[in-house]
Amino acid sequence: MGTSPLTERAVRRIEPLVADDHVVFRLADPDGALERVELAQEVRRPRLGPPFELDPSDGSWRLRFGRPDADRMEYMFHLVHRDGGEEWINDPGNPRTAPGPFGAKSVIEWSQYSPPEWLQQEAPPGDRGHLTIATRRPRARFKITLWSTPDLAEDAAAPLLVAHDGPEYDELSSLTRFLEVKYARGELPPMRVALIPPDDRNNSYSASAAYSRVFAYDLLPRIERVARLPHGRSMRVGMGASLGGLAMLHIHRISPATFGGLFLQSGSFFRQRYDRQESDFPRFRRISRFMGQVLSTEFWPHPIAIAMTCGTIEENLANNRATRDALAKQAYEVRLTENRDGHNWVGWRDAFDPLVDLLQRLWA
């Protein structure tokens, strides 16, 4: 017989104990079936650990974990069974979860955390259309969702926001709902958003010259023909998170006329100095070479407006600060907002407000 999931067998649900400066995770093991329990988290390295200790008084597993410099924390449990089986589960004692690209995770929210108030506001939904674009080099098919603010006529000109990982931004961070609320409040003008899915994400989003060229000279012009964009690069703004943010910066530096502004969240601006822990990533050297050029450039003739966000407990924070400083010296109008979270879609959602400020500056 194989290992039966603990979540099916554990009758006693033990909630985590949350204090101001720590949390105690607890897991019931009613049958004594577990050999080891580890915390899977992205707060500090190693990502798997530390291990729980077995409390012989009640047969439960416990771990005291110090609070990180954040107001929320996503996590899972890694279980090793005595019969050799393994499983990854959410905390059975914690009903609170957060969405992610590989499924939901358990989440701890300290008392200082509150979700953005716009999540509670209703607004008329925008309109959606779909566009499929095939490119030759690299060979790919992009199934793009083209969203627009309510009641925007198909033949009306309007500025364009282009989002890497667009479907994920919409599903996991509620991007278009955020824009609907801000539009309903009168904080944003009529606009369109191109939600672009990735193709071979780790390759195309990692400072790939081939992808950046096809984006600037093939993909974006074909989107514009459908979107009826007004003239002027300030009418085009790109956004992306993690590698998607890096790719947007790379597109701008390869083709400076592409965008008038960028919204970059937790950009993966890897450098050996800050990011040795990422050196096993297959495209690390390519990214590091590109970022070396960005950071060492003293003069850049095509600066634009850039808003950046990054979490206080992210490993990317150091390279984001260095990128901000380098761009500022090159006369970019650049601002970095640090939000008290990690590298996840909810953290990026909660840091959307600087996007409104950027769009207002460019589209007023």
pLDDT band at 226 (very low <50, low <70, confident <90, very high): confident
Instruction: Name the CATH superfamily, with its identifier, for domain 6-109.
Output: Immunoglobulins (2.60.40.10)
Q: What are 72-114's pLDDT values in tens digits?
A: 999 999 999 999 999 999 999 999 999 998 899 999 999 999 9
Residue 3 binned pLDDT confidence (cut-offs 50, 70, 90): low
Question: pLDDT band at 5, cuts 50/70/90?
Answer: low
| Residue 40 in tokens | 């899977």
Q: Which pLDDT belongs to residue 6?
A: 57
Is 211's pLDDT higher than 70? yes
- Residue 136 sits at φ, ψ, to 5 deg, of -100, -40
| Residue 205 in tokens | 């989003």
Strands (E) in the chain, as ranges, are: 17-18, 22-28, 34-41, 48-51, 53-55, 60-66, 72-81, 86-89, 97-98, 105-109, 127-136, 139-148, 160-164, 192-196, 236-241, 261-265, 305-311, 333-339
* DSSP conformation class of 229: P
Question: How confident is the model at residue 259, as a pLDDT?
Answer: 96
Domain ranges of the chain: 6-109, 119-363
Which pLDDT band holds residue 220 (cuts at 50, 70, 90)?
A: very high
Q: How far apart are CA 14 and CA 127, in angstroms?
A: 45
Evaluate whether 68 touches 20 at the Cβ level (below 8 Å).
no
Query: What's the topology of domain 119-363?
Result: Rossmann fold (3.40.50)
Say if pTM beats, i.e. exceeds, 0.75: yes
Q: Pairing mode, if any, of strands 60-66 and 53-55? A: antiparallel
* Alpha helix positions (H), the chain: 6-9, 166-173, 175-184, 201-204, 209-214, 220-227, 243-254, 284-296, 317-329, 345-350, 353-363
Quick check: 43 pLDDT over 70? yes
* pLDDT tens digits along 152-201: 998 899 999 999 999 999 999 999 999 999 999 999 999 999 999 999 99
